[in-house]
Structure 1
Amino acid sequence: YRTPSGKKVTSHQWAVYDYILQIPEGKVTTYKQICLAIGQGSPRTVGSALRNNPFAPYVPCHRVIASSLFIGGFFGEWGTIRRINQPAGRPVVLDKSEFQCERKLELLRKEGVCFTSDGYLEDKLGSLWK
């Protein structure tokens, strides 16, 4: 299989996508846990596979967070919860990565996974899946 950009999906990417398909709705796991579970790669290579996920939303990459339990990245953007302040008289502009972070948070909220106001997983025991 090739991605829309023409790149071949690697065996590592297939392993990541197959594992993520097992994460139930209402649960999240970490980039590190995925590479440990599939026995290959690193959190960065898992993140790269997710950034290039041609099967989203079928492969629910929004259910993967950082090992620190921070919301992490989504659609190729690493989340930050901040606003870019503009000079006086100009409207406040959202950071593009904040927008992606908010999209990920909203998807997870709909599944019952809650995060603190600064982007960290609230219910560590009930929401974390391994």
Structure 2
Amino acid sequence: MAALEELQERWRYLYQEYLPALAAAKDTAQKQWTVHLDHCFARIVLDNAIGVDSPWTEKIKSPAIKNMTATQLQSAIDLAEKLATGEANLFELDQKSLQLRGKKEKKRKADDASGKVPTPKKSKKDATVSSYFLPSPKSPPGQKEEKDNAPDETLPKLPVKSDVDMSVQLKRIEDSSITAFRKQTLSMLCQIPRGRYSTYGAMADWISNNSHKTCARAVGNAMRNNPFAPEVPCHRILAGDGSLGGFKGSWGEEGKYAMLKHDLLREEGVRFDSKGKVKGPPFRDFT
């Protein structure tokens, strides 16, 4: 893939998938996620990184992704990554974007007496971002839903096959329309042997050392809604501390689908100790 195409793919992933996923998970990188939709993130980043003193549409033709130079793409990527890490303030950049467009500024909801910022309402768009393995913030004490502990007759029965032909799965991934980064992470899953596990961090380390800089959260987000499960074994990815990690949008031992993930791993030979930590080292021999 040419350098320009790689930058375009990275930019598309950041504004279409990564930032909306962080917003839906209420990631602590931003005190308040004032927008949640991909086109809103694109507007904010492009106005500030490309437009600077005017809307980006006055600097380049639409669609931006096809008309930006490599330098402009890199500027957009850098600012999007700063939003993801909290180095840039989403609210302030949104205000500047609105000012450039001559629109009325949004009023930030004032903190109440307790100092807490009101939680923005979820939209239908947010609901679609829930992930297979999206790292989720820990639930505040006392706010866990009771239904997570209740029997669920609708739990999916995912068969685990011992004779999965990974070459077939790799072809399915390659022929799909998912982003290049998602193809990379899902293809790496096919290398993890039955009876072994790996971690988000181990995958991120390998990608950073051999392809491009990334992080464990980005890897988890890229594996969301794995369309090839369970043959492409995303259930073999655990948290960096050896705990269960995420599964189908829920997190940890209290998650709704924790039992299902344990069943899949147990059937393959992965074992946990009495404290809920996996036994043995993670698989890192990716190629």
TM-score, normalising length from structure 1? 0.73
Letter in 1 for 2:180: S
CA distance in 1 between counterparts of 2:280 and 2:226 reads: 26
Query: Are 1:79 and 2:236 an aligned pair?
Result: no
2:185 alignment partner in structure 1: 16
Q: Amino acid of the residue matched to residue 260 of structure 2?
A: R
Structure with the bigger RCO (C-alpha within 8 Å, sep 6+) is 1
Report how far residue 118 of structure 1 moved: 3.7
Matched, 1:129 2:286: no
Larger radius of gyration: 2
Structure 2 Cα separation of the partners of residues 119 and 18 of structure 1: 28
Relative to its length, the structure with more helix (as a share) is 2
Equivalent position SS for 2:257? helix
Task: Say yes or no: does 1:52 pair with 2:241.
Answer: no
Aligned length: 105
Mapped partners of 1:49, 1:56: distance in 2? 14
- The CA RMSD measured in Å over matched residues stands at 1.7
Distance 1:51 1:117 in 2: 29
1:50-129 → structure 2 map (5 Å cutoff): 50-81=223-254, 97=255, 99-121=256-278, 123-125=279-281, 128-129=282-283
Q: Give the distance between the partners of 2:276 and 2:179, measured in 1 at CA.
A: 31
The Cα of 1:76 is off from its aligned counterpart by: 1.6
Q: CA deviation at 1:46?
A: 1.1
Structure 1 residue 129 displacement after superposition: 1.2
The offset of 1:51, in angstroms, is: 2.1
2:244 & 2:226 partners in 1: Cα distance? Answer: 18
- CA distance in 1 between counterparts of 2:257 and 2:223 reads 14
Shift of 1:75: 1.1
| Length-normalised TM-score, structure 2 | 0.35
Percentage of pairs with the same residue: 39
SS at match of 1:124: coil
Q: Deviations over 1:78-99 (max 9, x none)?
A: 1234xxxxxxxxxxxxxxx1x3
Partner-residue secondary structure (3-state), 1:51? coil
Q: CA deviation at 1:54?
A: 1.4
Letter matched to residue 230 of structure 2: P
